[in-house]
Amino acid sequence: MKTPLWINSVFLKVKSALSFPLTPEKYIQLFFLIFVSALALAAAILLFVDPYIYYHRSIGLRQVYTRSTAMIPGVLRHFEYDTVLFGSSMVQNFDISEMDKLLGTRSVKATTAGLTADTLSVYFDIAFASRGDNLKRCIAGVDYYAFDRNGKKLHAQYDYLYGNKLFTPQYLWSKDSFDAVSEALWNNISYPFDKVAQHEMDFNLMFSNKPGRHKYGRKYIERDIRNRTGQMIPLSSKVRDNFRNLLFKHVKNHPDTQFDIFLPPYSIYFWCVLDESGQLEDYLALRRFIVEEAALYKNARLHDFQTDLSIICDLDNYKDFSHYSPKINSSILKGISSNSHIVTPQTASRGENLIRQSISTFRPSYNALRRK
Amino acid sequence: MLFCSYVFVLLFLPITVAGYFLLNKISRTAGRVWLFGASLYFYGYFNIYYLLLLAFSLVLNYSIGSLIYSYRKKFLLILGIVLNIFILGYFKYYDFFIDTVNTVFGTSWALKHILLPLGISFFTFQQISYLSDVYHDVLKERYSPLTYGLFVTFFPQLVAGPIVLANEMMPQFADEKNLRVNFSNLSCGIFIFSLGLAKKMLLADAFAPFGDSLFVLENPCFWDSFVGLLATHFQVYFDFSGYCDMAVGIGLMFNIHLPVNFISPYRAANIKEFWDTWHITLGRFLSQFIYFPLGGSKKGKFRTYFNLMMVFFVSGVWHGAYWMMVLWGVIHGFAVVVHRIWSKELKLKMPRPLGVVITFTFLFMILAFFKSSTWEQAKRAYLGFINFDPVRISEFSRKFEFDTFLLFAAGFIIVFFFKPASSFRENFKPAVWTLAVPVVLIICCIYTFNKISPFIYFNF
């Protein structure tokens, strides 16, 4: 079959255009002109959209709150707030509007899945450097795992966003930034008809999980327990130092800021897993340590939701052995607001006993799941 | 400083090139001092302490070279070679030697964990070639310390080759014609540099996850081993040849013709042809300093086979301070000997396409030794072949998608059908398409710079 004449003609024209000769001098001039212009244009677009809030808050576009590890420094530097909520995936789903209403605060979130204590400490530094005395309150959900990962920075990939450099080529010209700009522009276009975009651009739900992403209920946590393999990794010898140097250091250094530290309500099966792997007493000892450390500071209150049996023993609250549903976030906020779950060295042992008793109660059902 | 970094592409390279030619207008020495200083800065950017060793090596070798010029004594040449080998041996092979002694004799001597200075194998070999050229009166004139310094430290080839010879480089640095900007060379250099950069950032780094994963899988299936080794092949080739292309391109920007290191090696129809087209400058060096001094092919066939084995034994040792690499070298030596017997003694011929397939398959099968530092690691890579079961698909293999297939297809097409990037040096014509290609490729590559991506041959 012969190629149609018009295709031949177009092909020859394109070939002729591409083969058009240039003098070497012209080549060099055009190369630098096009190359520099393309980079400048790309940088200009990036600077305008600034998806990671590195230089400024959104101008003329709705802000997308998705890539938490990249965005948190920007949020802490460029937003107005007097309270920050810090934490890992255990704390992601808090609603800022609910928090502000209950606690009378003006807050932002610095929450990201897999948060390590090293990165948490950096977030504290950025927040205090940015707000100084205006940072009245820090609410931090303490995830044991975060403090057990020695020296690991969650934000290593985005290290360039955590400094103060004016010129950051890794941000101006990288595939990651390109994707973030594309996402921001697309979300702005699709906002009127895309519920996911609306969620991702909701300030009050910043960095929280997409609606419907996770399912909570007894059958999900039971499936998680049945499928668990391997042992829980023993706590490292440095975990107490990490608490002192990466959390309580900031409590000590900022006596005028109120620190509400809360122990998130892992499910009762979490404690059964620890019991099964012979580490229960280590974790309970760590709890006691945290309680005793918090008691040293007048500006620290420790809220213990780990021994709230109404939460931890209701398996329908969980999707796996540690992550609770968003409705529990509301309970936690109410508890912090009313100081109903404050724990002190004097009351700590009561909580431990509750955990031990609950383990005994749930051990048969836990063992039955493990046998399947 | 890596070629594939923002600071190199956006700052160091344009400033160095511009500064070189602008200063050459003022004085030829100023430009060359600028280039020498830039090269030292480039090297010291990795680790400032490396500069101390480099400076010591430069002073030592230039001094011995000066003595050889004056006295022409063979023992000075031998002294120079021995000192260079000693320095290389200490930094690169001390722990290897101690570890081997401990294993064989049951001792427990302490390892020093000496940090290997980048490029030490390359600049050591280059300076040995200089001493040899001085002794054998190959260099027609006595070059200044600055020219010598440029020959050794010229940054495009300093850390990973190509291994250049004094007689091919020093005249170029001394040639007045090369001090003026040549837009033809500059444009061709940019073009070749962009091809090399794309080979590294867009191809080698795309293959890397498949190749690297194979060596950590506990129980790879047949497809893991097959795809993993193939990916390792392409990764090593595109990584190293990409680096060499970038070096050639950058050299050309300065009007310096660096030797080519790769000429479509996978199109080779036999192992000898492969080594004539793969890491050409290493083969040239080993021929000149190992093969020919041992007698080459002039002392009978068994001595020839021994000489060939020695060349590849040394090649294996040079590539890495561990026994897997030595084994890899020895296997190659054995293959070259077999080929020699096949072609020269038995005078057998093979159809070229069959030869290409057999050669590629051989290279494919032994590559695990190149990538592994221990026998267990190599064995694990081959497990998929050992436990032959093409029906089993592992968790890792399940992740292979259509774009994985496209990536490998692109690898095959480029390796077997594209002409080498460095071949454009001979017949480059500035045109719209040769302008569009580097603009697009360099910008695409810049967008991948925020990932950490070291070159494989930096380990040598």
Question: What integer best gives the mean pLDDT of chain B?
Answer: 90
Q: Write down the pTM of the prediction.
A: 0.89
Handedness of CA B296, B297, B298, B299 (dihedral sign): positive
Tens of pLDDT, residue by residue over A23-78, are 999 999 999 999 999 999 999 999 999 999 999 999 999 999 999 999 999 999 99
Spatial distance between the Cα atoms of A365 and B2, rounded to a whole number of angstroms: 58
Spatial distance between the Cα atoms of B391 and A343, rounded to a whole number of angstroms: 58
A170 in Cβ contact with B6 (< 8 Å) = yes
Tens of pLDDT, residue by residue over A328-358, are 999 999 999 999 999 999 999 999 999 999 9
Task: Quote the pLDDT of residue A95.
Answer: 92
> Given CB atoms, is B427 within the 8 Å cutoff of chain A?
no
Question: DSSP character for A110?
Answer: E
Task: Quote the pLDDT of residue A81.
Answer: 96
A174:B432 CB<8 A: no
Interface predicted TM-score of the whole assembly (ipTM), two decimals: 0.88
Tens of pLDDT, residue by residue over A34-45, are 999 999 999 999
B183:A31 CB<8 A: no
Task: Identify which of A27, A174, A175 has the shortest CB distance to residue B187.
Answer: A27
Spatial distance between the Cα atoms of A125 and A114, rounded to a whole number of angstroms: 19
| Residue of A346, A246, A358, A345 whose CA lies nearest to A306 | A358
Spatial distance between the Cα atoms of A331 and B453, rounded to a whole number of angstroms: 47
pLDDT level of residue B413 (50, 70, 90 thresholds): very high
Spatial distance between the Cα atoms of A101 and A105, rounded to a whole number of angstroms: 7
Helix (H, G, I), strand (E, B) or coil at B63: helix
pLDDT level of residue B367 (50, 70, 90 thresholds): confident
Tens of pLDDT, residue by residue over B123-145, are 999 999 999 999 988 887 888 99
Q: State the nearest Cα–Cα gap between A263 and chain B, in angstroms.
A: 36
Task: Quote the pLDDT of residue A32.
Answer: 95
Residues of B annotated as part of the active site: 319
> Given CB atoms, is A39 within the 8 Å cutoff of chain B?
yes
Task: Give residue for tokens 């070749």.
Answer: B192
- Residue-by-residue DSSP string for B143-187: --HHHHHHHHH-HHHHTT-----HHHHHHHHH-GGGGS--HHHHH
Task: Identify which of A22, A35, A42 has the shortest CB distance to residue B430.
Answer: A22
Min mean pLDDT across A258-262, A300-304, A319-323 is at: A319-323
Test mutation, A13, A25, A31, chain B, max B CBs within 10 A: A31
Tens of pLDDT, residue by residue over A245-271, are 999 999 999 999 999 999 999 999 999
B448:A20 CB<8 A: no
pLDDT level of residue B453 (50, 70, 90 thresholds): low
Identity at A363, one-letter amino acid code: R
Q: If residue B379 lies in a helix (H) or strand (E), which one and from where to where?
A: helix B375-386
Helix (H, G, I), strand (E, B) or coil at B275: helix
A19:B10 CB<8 A: no
Task: Identify which of B430, B439, B449 has the shortest CB distance to residue A35.
Answer: B439
- On chain A, the residues whose CB falls within 8 A of the CB of B183 are 23-25, 27-28
pLDDT > 80? residue B454: no
Identity at B452, one-letter amino acid code: I
For a pLDDT cut of 70, what percent of chain A falls above it?
A: 98
- Number of residues that this document lists for chain A: 372
